[in-house]
Chain A
Amino acid sequence: MEREAFLSRVRSAIDLSRLPEGSDTDPGPLVPDLPPVDLVERFANALETVSGTLHVGEGLAAIDHIIERYSPGPLLAWDDGELPITGASQRFLDAGCGLIDGTVPSSADGRVDHQRGYFDVKYGLTGAEAAFAETGSIVVRSGLGRPRMASLIPLIHIVLLPEDRIFRSPMHWLTEPGSDAAGAANVVYITGPSRTADIEQKITLGVHGPRELHVILVPA
């Protein structure tokens, strides 16, 4: 249908007598009034509730511990320059992980061939734009040197989160002038590892996305 015809059909269907509460102006967002908390503590609790793990005070040594526990495997990572501290990818390589190229060709065939190489990605390494104390979420933003797949395809997602990026709640971050959540092609709030409760309401983890989510808190 032509755009104008579509829109004029909608326009003539609007009957304000049937939508008496439809105000003229957008009421706009609401930042929730929540009790003050220790942001790190609250975030740690909320992350645990959604089956994620927080590493505080370990620094990059946390990466060694994780690989020791789960053994080395292929890594898909953000570029070093996009991470809040340097040397994180190197830790993986030193421990015997192989680095997978995260740049997907634009051609249809090249794309599929490249992505077939993602099947067994074990580790994903990314930074985070922000985190929410109320929900235990992290915010991951796409862009140059930041493959989306790094937070999506691996079995274990490892996030480097600067300590000063924890916000009280999603709305506290979203309404910040600097958040620019529409400025990237993809911004995702990740709240724990991939999960489903489709079969008899039993929660199981890692259905399509990561089975484990490790957040490493790094000093600002």
Chain B
Amino acid sequence: MSARPSTFAERGAAEVGSDKAKAVGDGARHLTEKRAAAVVAYPAMDAMRDRAREIRLHTLANLDTYVARFADAIEALGGHVFFAADAAEANDYIRGVAETADAELIVKVKSMVTEEIELNTVLEADGRTVVESDLGEFIVQLADDRPSHIVAPVLHWTRQDVGRLFADELGVPYTEEPTALNQIARTHLRRIFLEADMGISGVNFAAASTGTIAVVTNEGNGRLTTTAPRVHVAVMGMERIVPTLEDVGVMLEVLGRSATGQSLTTYTNLITGPRKQGDPDGPDELHVVILDSGRSTVLNDDVSEVLACIRCGACLNVCPVYRSVGGHAYGDIYPGPVGAVLSPVLFGFDGREQLPYACTLCGACLEVCPPRIDLPRMLVNLRERVAAEGDAFSWLGPAMKAYEFTATRPVMWRGAVDGASLAGKAKRGGWFTRLPGPGKAWTAVRDLPAPSRQSFRRWWKKNHGA
């Protein structure tokens, strides 16, 4: 990985206070409220989270067995399996499938892993047209922008922005009415679904025993992408697997509620092999690409549990730092607390030394994470490693300096205060003496003055001209 063009702090400082970052913050707060309501409404939530955690950790501890079982099941169904060591191998294989299928037009459903391997760029370089079908991703693609959230990619866009984009790029009359914008996208993309030669999807979960893959979407683009084109290519990180389809059911119990506050995402699509004899429709060919690309390194790391992540986005939504700086400041496709842990270990620390510090250790992410991944503990672990590495981050020492780093940056500071009050731990105008759990490491170093919000910010503005 090449060095980042700028640091998290620089990017964050540029983003904070912008309309874009504010829109992301509002959206994240809204999603947090929706999650909270769904959790209250479902008495089994806690028990399901515990079971989801147990299933995920059991799978990781036996991952080779389950990957092998899953591959056998796919092949028994008549599907093709490709094991990709890295992004290049995955992309080469998919290029080959597209070549054989003579696929000029390819339709895609939003997936983190295909963004990770930058599949679109590779296919486009071969002269193929690749169209993102999720409304948000379609906007991102048309605008040549980047997603700001793993579940809601255009959280940073206003309806006026979308209206102007559609008018400019699609040649339709300007409208900012969401229903009308939606209709424009429907009409435009419908032809593409029906005529595409190949559909590419990610995989939310995969069942090892049956070879079933789950692809969930609200819009129906996941179903269209995996039904209309003759060839379906599913790309998945190897950690998407759980032992059985019933275990997939447990994951679905917690995914929708945590992500958007829905008891189930609108379309929960369970795909078991290509079109069967006698089926009137569905893809004739199924290819499943199972990707390692750094995951075995993560599996062997102190933070291996982060592979239990189900990509619900709840930790982003609740994170005071994410809410302040938005998704782009993180510099990689995985933002927020999970990104701050995953990106350095998956893509390398180089240029990402600050990510573990993009956190106030408020513990809110652990509270909401469905499989209860202890992200704050992992961030402390990564800080220690960054500090031990020395030079690249020499200006920022070990844990104690984390406070200074935070306090000298209004972005982080605001994050810290918001986060603490969110957790109901702030004593406004008083002092934080002890934060529970992971915050201990922080407050053990020195007491942290909790400023009255207004006066501190005014003071900051006056003195630092922020």
Chain A interface residues toward B at CB < 8 A: 1-3, 5-11, 13-16, 18-19, 21-30, 32-35, 46, 50, 102-104, 106, 108, 111-112, 115-116, 118-119, 132, 134-137, 142-149, 152-153, 170-171, 174-175, 181-202, 204, 206-210
Give the segment of B248-256, B402-410, B429-437 that binds chain A.
B248-256
- Chain B residue numbers with a CB within 8 Å of A118 are 194
Please classify the interface of chain A as helix (H, G, I), strand (E, B), loop, or mixed, using the class held by over half of its residues. loop
Residues B61 and A19 in contact, CB atoms below 8 Å apart: yes
Q: Give B213-262 interface residues, CB cut-off 8 Å to A.
A: 218-221, 223-224, 227-228, 230, 238, 243-247, 249-250, 252-253, 260, 262
> What are 25 A-to-B residue pairs whose CB atoms are below 8 Å?
A3-B68, A7-B67, A10-B64, A18-B301, A18-B304, A21-B57, A22-B58, A23-B58, A25-B58, A106-B230, A106-B284, A108-B197, A112-B197, A135-B263, A143-B279, A171-B250, A185-B276, A191-B262, A191-B264, A194-B220, A194-B267, A195-B218, A208-B193, A209-B224, A210-B220
With known contacts A102-B280, A116-B194, A13–B300 Cβ distance under 8 A: yes
Other A-B pairs beyond A116-B195, A201-B155, 19, CB < 8 Å? A29-B244, A30-B47, A33-B44, A103-B280, A143-B278, A148-B227, A152-B223, A171-B246, A174-B245, A182-B270, A185-B272, A187-B270, A193-B266, A194-B267, A198-B134, A199-B154, A199-B162, A204-B178, A209-B224
- Chain A residue numbers with a CB within 8 Å of B48 are 30, 32
- Chain A residue numbers with a CB within 8 Å of B154 are 198-199
Chain B residue with the shortest CB-CB distance to A46: B263
Q: Give B110-164 interface residues, CB cut-off 8 Å to A.
A: 133-136, 139, 152-155, 157-159, 162
Chain B residue with the shortest CB-CB distance to A171: B249
Residues B271 and A10 in contact, CB atoms below 8 Å apart: no
* Residue from A104, A142, A191 within 8 A of B266 (CB atoms): A191
Residues A28 and B162 in contact, CB atoms below 8 Å apart: no
A116 to B105: give the CA distance in the assembly, Å. Answer: 15
A25 to B244: give the CA distance in the assembly, Å. Answer: 12
User: CB of B364 within 8 A of chain A?
Assistant: no
Q: How far is the CB of A146 from chain B (nearest CB, A)?
A: 7
